[in-house]
Amino acid sequence: MRFLRMTAICFAIALLLLSLPACNSKQEGKVSDFEQSESGVPNDELFVLRFRQKWHPQAQFAGIYMAIDKGFYAQYGIDLRLQPHAADSLVFRTLYNKNTDIVQMDLISGIMENKDGLRVVNIGQVSQNSSQLLIGKKNRGINSIADFNGKKIGLWCSGSHYISRIFLAKEKLDMEIVPVNWSINLFTSNAIDVTNAMRFNEYNQLLQAGLKEEDLFVADLSALGYNIPDDGFYVSNDFYNEHKDICKRFMAATMDGWHYAFAHPEEALDLVLRLMRKNNIPANRSHQSWMLNEMKMLILVPDKTPGRLTKADYLRAVSLLQEFYQPVKAYPFEEFCPND
């Protein structure tokens, strides 16, 4: 029932977002902060590019919305068509079925889904770090990682559960794994003892549901040696070979959108909240502001190039997967993330 409800909402969002490029065409000729950063092409021959979001509208995707709203994609010769969202494993299926051109997945999903005869390549990396946390309540007897043993842990049934599973395996923690969707209520109602959460989203949702920071035990996986970057953009290998330039332009416009969002956070939040409310998605500014700020810290990381996946991160992800989860077909970094 919940799934259908979300599907319906996503469909409505897609209809809305599909209309955005058309709106942006009215802004042709408008000078953007990032307009001069990359070589642009005339707007009269736009390349139609289908992009499937991995979740409903929120500040996690503010850079893409700003790029659309400000006409950055059009300036780079792209007519970006947003498609209804799906979880990591499902967005991959749409790529597999050629129902989309570009999807957004976390790095481990990108590596794990690289199978079934479809090779994917990473054309850009949004998050440079992992935002994943494991959270327990102190009043439920969880004051350390060792206290996780014997407890129920809620892990997403979509692709983002891999890091948590690697963590449990490496730390040799014996926990009852409960597949969960996106609700935080299993945790607030004590149906589970430990939940996985993104710092930029669920963690703040818990605080806004009346849980106090001092009452929570938080295991920050990125600080515990499991810093495998979250979201990146993936296309099929065939698509990449055929449209390398389009992929580059997409990433340039997307990163311009992010830079604009960080430079104009209130404008970006207005846009995100407008999209969420039009789609009847519960939204409040303080949470979206938290999320945008966290995204800024995930994207603009010292010593890393914004928008690019590093070889070290890729190799660490492959290594952890191989050692603590399951064997995967690991392509050389240069093939997984070509940079030509």
Partner 1 sequence: MINSKREDKTLAYQLITFVFVITLIAFVVITTFTQILLRRHISKTQLDNMKHLAHESIYLIDGILNHVEQNLHMLCIMLSDRRFSKEEIESVISEAIQHDNSVHSITLAENIPAHQSALVFFKENGKLKVNDIKDINYFFGDWFQIPLMLKKSYWTEPWVDSQGSSELIISFSAPYERDGIGGIASYGVSLKELQSLVIDSQCMEGGNSFLISANGTLVAHDDMSLVMNHSLFSLADEHNEPKLRELGYNMIAGETGFMHITRSTMLKNSWIFYQALKSNGWSVGVSVRRDVLYKDMRILLLINVFSAIILFLVVAYIIYNRAHELTKPLRELSEAALRIGGGEFDTHIPDSDAGLEVSTLSQSFRFMQESLFDYIQSLRITTDEKDKIRGDVIYAGEVQTKLIPANTDHPFGIKDLRAYGILEPAGDVGGDLYDYFMIDEDRFCFVIADVVGTGIVAAMTMTMASTLLPSLAPFYNKSNELLRELNSFLCKTDMESNFVTALLGIINLKTGVLQYSNAGHMPLYIRKLDGEIVKRAETHSTALGVFEDLSIGFEEIRLNVGDEIIIFTDGVTEAMSREDEFFGLGGLEEVFSALHYSNPENTAKSIVSRVHDFAEGSKYKDDVTVLVIDYKHPRA
Residues near partner 1 (CB under 8 A)? 1-5, 8, 152, 157, 178-181, 183-186, 188-192, 207-210, 212, 277, 280, 282-287, 290
Is the CB of residue 269 less than 8 Å from the CB of residue 289? yes
Select from 330, 326, 255 the least CA-distant residue to 70.
Answer: 255
Looking at the Cβ atoms of 1 and 22, the one nearer to partner 1 is 1
**DSSP characters over 260-278:** HHHHSHHHHHHHHHHHHHH
Q: Mark out the alpha helices in the chain (DSSP H runs).
A: 2-18, 20-24, 62-69, 72-75, 88-96, 107-112, 162-170, 185-188, 204-208, 237-242, 244-263, 265-278, 285-299, 311-324, 333-336
Instruction: Give dist(CA 101, CA 89) in Å, integer.
Output: 15
Instruction: State the minimum distance, in angstroms, from the CB of residue 6 to partner 1.
Output: 9
Shortest distance (Å) from residue 179 CB to partner 1: 7
Least distance in angstroms from the C-beta of 180 to partner 1: 6
Structural element, H or E, at residue 136? strand 132-137
CB 191 to partner 1: min, Å: 4
Query: Could you tell me the smallest distance in angstroms from the CB atom of residue 229 to partner 1?
Result: 26
Nearer to partner 1, 84 or 307 (CB): 84
CB of 209 to partner 1, least distance (A): 4
Instruction: Quote the CA–CA distance of 221 and 115 in Å, as a whole number.
Output: 26
Q: How far is it, in rounded angstroms, from Cα 48 to Cα 270?
A: 27
Nearer to partner 1, 4 or 31 (CB): 4
Closer CB to partner 1, residue 6 or residue 66?
A: 6
Which pair of structure tokens corresponds to residue 70? 């400000």
Phi, psi of 179 (to 5 degrees): -65, 135
Could you tell me the smallest distance in angstroms from the CB atom of residue 192 to partner 1?
A: 7
- In the bound state with partner 1, the residue whose beta carbon lies nearer, of 266 and 323, is 266
Instruction: List C-alpha distances in Å: 163 to 45, 76, 103, 264.
Output: 42, 35, 20, 33
| Structure letter (DSSP) for residue 307 | B
Nearer to partner 1, 8 or 223 (CB): 8
End-to-end CA distance of the chain: 45
